[in-house]
Structure formats: C-alpha cells, structure tokens
A and B are shown apart, each in its own frame.
Chain A
C-alpha cells in the first residue's frame, strides 16, 4: 500500500514542557519523524555564570518543578566535587532517602496521571473519575504521602529548602523519622493495589533494540546516587568523562540537544536502569517485575512505565530500610549547618571543576560546574535525561510508523503520543541547557 500520512501533533499534552510530533510519509516511505522541541529558552547557564557555587542548587532546582530534588542533588554533588568537600555518612543516607522520594513521587505522577488515561482510553486523569475514582484517589493519596515525607525532610518537594552544599540546614528528629516511617509503610498497600491494577492492563507491543545507559557500580546497591557511567553495549566511564558518553549535537528542530554513544542513539531512564541493574533491585521489586512480566533485557520502550512501577517498590522498600537504619543510629543534630552564600567562608572553597551524576526519575542527569578560587561559577553545563532520549525517541518513531501505517491517522497519532509519553519527557528541563562552546576549551 502506498500511503501518504502527514501528522502534526501540536503542543503534546500530558508531558512536562512544550513539544510537537511531526510525521511525514510519502507514497508509503517515511520521510520525517521528528519530536520538535519548542520550549522557550531560559538560559540557565548564563544565569549561573558569575554567581556563587552556594547558589547553584537554589537556581538549578528551578529548571524543573517535577524533578527539583533530583536537580538539587546533582547540583550539590557537582558543587561538592568542585570544591573538594566530602559529605558524611548521615548526609549521604538522607540524600539517598530524598532521591528515593523524588523517583517514587515522579513515577506515581507519571504512571497514574499521564499514562493510565491512555490505557483506559480516556483523555485525562479527570476522565478517569467517573469509572475509576478509587484509582484517582489512590494516586492523589500516594502523591500526598511522598510530598508529606519531603515536607519533613527538606521543607517541600517542589524546590527543596534544606538540602544544600555541605549537608542539611535542618535535620529531622526522631519523632519526624517515625512519621516518615509510618507514611512509607502505609504506602505499601496502595503500591500493591497499583501493581494489581497495572497487571491487568496491556501496554502496546513494539520492540527496537537500542543502547541503554545508566549508573553502574561494583557495589551490591542499585546505583542511583553514586557510580560510574555504564551502557548495555559495554561502555564504562567515570562520571567526569560524561562528555565522552553524551556526545551532544544540535539539531534545528529542537531547542534541546540530542545525544548518541555507540549507536545512532541511546536511552536513559527506568527501563535502562532496570536492564542494567535489575539483579540489584530489592527482592520485593523483583517480585513485582515477575508479576507484571517485565524481563531484562526488555526492548519495548512502552514498558518504561512498567519499569517505573518496579522502581516504585524498590524505592519505597529501600527508603523504609534507610529510615530504620537512621532510627537505630539516631540523628546527630550537630550536623545541621548554616550556610547562606557561605558568608565568612565556613566551608573552604578552592578553584576547580566538578561533576554530579545522579539517576533522577527520567534517567541519568549530569551537572558540571567550573569555579574560580572564590567559588564563583565560570561555566556551567547540565545534560538532561530527556535530551539524551530525544534521538532514541525519533529512532523509535522511525521504526514504529512503517509498522503501523495501515492504521487510521488517529490511531497512529495515539500510538506516537503514547510512545513519547512512555519516556516521561521533561521538556522544559531538556531545553534549558544547551551550549556549543564548552567542549575542549
């Protein structure tokens, strides 16, 4: 069949940020499959230049309201790497806990509010209310619990207040840790119900083998906050070499850069992490993977949402374990710090360069700062997970469209929208960091 298809999905909905899908098929031949990124530029690197390294977390948290805690943690890690500061064990445990809450919260938002409507054939989360009110209530309740934990831990989930370079400006006391433990334990039954719900739903069937990139390590722990950069094609580099992994390049139809490693594209995110590190997941999470029939290596991008569900259980179980460890050891309140913009030079600063590499909800996130001897930022660079996934999404679209060409335009559009949504793209994040003059300077 020689078919012409010209699709232009303006302002993709139920994704974070602004993007278009453009498909052009002439006489049955695919000529164009693009995810156009039209987010208004905000110039974060320019904002950072000339500001104190102690302000970097505050500013870069504002790249994204959804993954503000993830950006904060990557920013802090890069800043501490640059000034040569090593955080203590308690600080690291609390940061791990915060990252778990970030991944859990964001995954719940994604699987329920953005993905579930497609699986039930309605247009939005609100459309679920008439027939699936219990699921809506459960999602809102779970999100609220994640938020309540973040409120205790860092003041709030959107733009956390107390996690800064050097540690935490306020530490939870025993009563608050017990509250967190209660909130997390109460999540278990809702998570089980979520798994049951998704077990009965069917994701679209599509496969395309690609390279998966994420943190890897030799420790038994599922690496989210620490590790080297690894890939399913056998690449392994230290985080400071991130440029050799991301190989970013600019394309005209996207105000966010694209990336590639061993092939034409690679993928980051929950599915990449699952494929690389599934043996290190908490046993309860591995059970969930078995229940929903997710097996590594999985090459169906639609199942990124399933991998997120598996991670939800891992994150909540590991978070509960962390809180129990903290409760057993007790929190040392003397570690609470006063920093401001480091008036009086409480934290020693030196000129240098530092990289943060953190597994945030949508995949591996890099922050990189160069500072002078006073701690003033000279250059900044961030490589965002969604940016790294863009080329991979377009490669998926290029394989998918010819396979489903016999369907109606409406069905093709829905399949493509669902594909893009499966990656949980954070478009406003991905556009804010583009630079072309940094390499090899």
Chain B
C-alpha cells in the first residue's frame, strides 16, 4: 500500500503549530516513515500538483486570498484537518472582530488602508467542511499524534467536551481561583492536560469553550471569590471572539 500523501498549509497564523511538528524530535522520523510528506512550505521547497490524502491547515481566514486558497485546498483533499486555535476557532486573530474592520485597519495602516485589504477573522469551519480539529495555541503534541493516528486509521477523533478543570484536578493543581485570579478552565474544552495551570499560569480558553458551559456555576465562583465578571469576558475574547456570530 502506498503511503498517504500529507501536506501542511498556513493561512494567517504564527506558524508555531507547524513548528510543533519539527519539535517532535526523532519521533518525527517514525511518522515520516508512515506518510509521504508532499508539501510543507516552511521546511520544504517541493510542490505537489495532485490530490492530498490529508491536508493540515493552520491559521485563520482574514482576506479573500486566504478564502480562495482554503477552498482550493478543500477541493483537492480527502481529509482536511483544522490545525491549531487560529484554524479551529479563529484564535487571537479574532480579537479584532470586536471592533469595526475599518477602524482596525486605520489603527495599523493609517490612511493607506486600501493597500492591504482585510476582512473579519473566520475559522475554517465557517467556510468549508472540516474532518478533524486539533485545537490549542499551540497544539498539544500528544493530541497531535492521537489525531494523526486516528486520521491514518480512518477513525473519528472528538475534542473532549468537558472542562479543563477535570484534567487540572487530576494534576492536583491548586485552583487559580483559590489564588485569587480568574481562569477560564471551568468553561474551556479539556485535552491539553491543563498545560498552562500546571505551570502556574491561568487558562485563557485557547481550545474553545465547552458546548454547554455552566454559566450559573461560573457566576457563583466569581461571586464567592469577589472577582470582577468583566475580567472573564476579557479573557473569553482573547481566543473566542471569532466564534461570536
């Protein structure tokens, strides 16, 4: 059996999720033994004119050019994987959606806004069918491996729909609320093994919100700890603003 043809693409992003692939170390060579990497502009000069069995797309759609490119990739791919928060939920590129686009352009390009056209940030699934999602800013390597295995075997992968708190409790972290700061762990999808809280920082919700967040519970927590609800709103708009539609 020939090895599946795999390609990596990037739209508006920092390319950090692609870098997570290079960061796998020699394990990467094991993966490369199972697939045929046909396009990966960041580290390869090769181009592939045919079909892709699996296309990883990092980044969000912020202009017409990117939209065209995404549609073309979708057409040429059997499996499309939204790779990283920018692709799955818009990520921090979505912050600008909370202001009128002309105002945002003016803030950066001054009077010359017509030189570099832009649109509100969109996640991939807003425009095309997405077969697998790997959320995270950046992606969590064990989850990346899990999804690659699932995609190669033709099995489904579902991003956990329970809160980061579940994993955080297993890791025996002291709750950030007990330390007096707000944290999005209670409303954010797990699967990262509470990466940030393990290192003493708060959860910023980079993996997207659970489908049915416990709002009453969250309000109760804020009341109990006498914290300002606006702080929570600020944090939710860090990664999830492009999902407000």
What is the interface of chain A, defined by CB distance below 8 A to chain B? 11, 13-17, 40-47, 49, 51-52, 55, 58-59, 62-66, 68, 109, 113-114, 117, 123-126, 136-137, 140-141, 143-144, 147, 154-159, 161-162, 164, 168-170, 250, 252, 255, 336, 338-341, 343-344, 428, 433-437
Question: Could you say which residues of chain A place their CB within 8 Å of the CB of B95?
Answer: 47, 51, 59
* B245 contacts chain A at the CB level, 8 A cutoff: no
- Tell whether, in the assembled complex, residue A158 and residue B23 are in contact, meaning their CB atoms are under 8 Å apart: yes
Question: Could you say which residues of chain B place their CB within 8 Å of the CB of A42?
Answer: 12, 62, 93
Question: Could you say which residues of chain A place their CB within 8 Å of the CB of B19?
Answer: 65-66, 109, 158
Beta-carbon contacts under 8 Å, B131-188 to A: 137-138, 176, 179-183
* B42 contacts chain A at the CB level, 8 A cutoff: yes
Binary CB contact string for chain B from 83 to 107 against chain A (1 if under 8 A, 0 otherwise)? 0000000011101100100011101
Binary CB contact string for chain B from 182 to 200 against chain A (1 if under 8 A, 0 otherwise)? 1100000000000110111
**Residue in B20, B107, B231 whose beta carbon sits within 8 Å of that of A49 in the complex:** B107
- Tell whether, in the assembled complex, residue A45 and residue B22 are in contact, meaning their CB atoms are under 8 Å apart: no
Q: Which 9 A-B pairs have the closest CB atoms?
A: A65-B16, A340-B181, A169-B200, A144-B25, A436-B110, A155-B199, A124-B44, A170-B200, A161-B199
Interface centre among A155, A159, A168 (most CB of B within 10 A): A159
- Tell whether, in the assembled complex, residue B15 and residue A428 are in contact, meaning their CB atoms are under 8 Å apart: yes
Binary CB contact string for chain B from 11 to 49 against chain A (1 if under 8 A, 0 otherwise)? 111111111101111101100100001001111111000
Given the interface pairs A46-B96, A155-B198, the reply to whether A437 lies near B16 with Cβ below 8 Å is no
Question: Could you say which residues of chain A place their CB within 8 Å of the CB of B20?
Answer: 65, 158
**Residue in B11, B32, B43 whose beta carbon sits within 8 Å of that of A114 in the complex:** B43
Binary CB contact string for chain B from 69 to 89 against chain A (1 if under 8 A, 0 otherwise)? 000000000000000000000
* B68 contacts chain A at the CB level, 8 A cutoff: no
- Tell whether, in the assembled complex, residue B14 and residue A137 are in contact, meaning their CB atoms are under 8 Å apart: no
Given the interface pairs A40-B66, A47-B92, A162-B200, the reply to whether A64 lies near B227 with Cβ below 8 Å is no
Question: Could you say which residues of chain B place their CB within 8 Å of the CB of A255?
Answer: 115-116
Tell me the minimal C-beta distance from A396 to chain B in angstroms: 21
**Residue in B28, B138, B238 whose beta carbon sits within 8 Å of that of A59 in the complex:** B238
Question: Could you say which residues of chain B place their CB within 8 Å of the CB of A434?
Answer: 108-109
11 CB contacts below 8 A, A to B, read A40-B11, A40-B63, A40-B65, A40-B66, A46-B103, A52-B234, A65-B19, A126-B37, A126-B44, A140-B26, A169-B199
Given the interface pairs A42-B93, A141-B25, A161-B199, the reply to whether A340 lies near B176 with Cβ below 8 Å is yes
Question: Could you say which residues of chain B place their CB within 8 Å of the CB of A147?
Answer: 23, 25
What is the interface of chain B, defined by CB distance below 8 A to chain A? 11-20, 22-26, 28-29, 32, 37, 40-46, 62-63, 65-66, 91-93, 95-96, 99, 103-105, 107-112, 115-116, 118, 137-138, 176, 179-183, 195-196, 198-202, 204, 227-228, 231, 234-235, 238
A212 CA to B235 CA, complexed, in Å: 41
- Tell whether, in the assembled complex, residue B108 and residue A435 are in contact, meaning their CB atoms are under 8 Å apart: yes
- Tell whether, in the assembled complex, residue A14 and residue B44 are in contact, meaning their CB atoms are under 8 Å apart: yes
**Considering only CB atoms, which chain B residue lies closest to A133 in the complex?**
B29
- Tell whether, in the assembled complex, residue A13 and residue B45 are in contact, meaning their CB atoms are under 8 Å apart: yes
Given the interface pairs A55-B238, A147-B25, the reply to whether A68 lies near B108 with Cβ below 8 Å is no
**Considering only CB atoms, which chain A residue lies closest to B42 in the complex?**
A16
A365 CA to B45 CA, complexed, in Å: 28
**Residue in A13, A63, A144 whose beta carbon sits within 8 Å of that of B14 in the complex:** A63
A55 CA to B238 CA, complexed, in Å: 9
**Residue in B96, B115, B138, B183 whose beta carbon sits within 8 Å of that of A43 in the complex:** B96
A137-B26, A169-B199, A344-B180 given; 4 more Cβ-contact pairs under 8 Å? A46-B96, A58-B238, A155-B195, A161-B196
**Considering only CB atoms, which chain A residue lies closest to B106 in the complex?**
A437
A428 CA to B18 CA, complexed, in Å: 13
- Tell whether, in the assembled complex, residue B105 and residue A43 are in contact, meaning their CB atoms are under 8 Å apart: yes
Question: Could you say which residues of chain A place their CB within 8 Å of the CB of B183?
Answer: 340
- Tell whether, in the assembled complex, residue A68 and residue B14 are in contact, meaning their CB atoms are under 8 Å apart: yes
- Tell whether, in the assembled complex, residue A64 and residue B116 are in contact, meaning their CB atoms are under 8 Å apart: no
Given the interface pairs A140-B26, A170-B200, A435-B108, the reply to whether A41 lies near B62 with Cβ below 8 Å is yes
A73 CA to B202 CA, complexed, in Å: 19
Question: Could you say which residues of chain B place their CB within 8 Å of the CB of A140?
Answer: 22, 25-26, 28-29
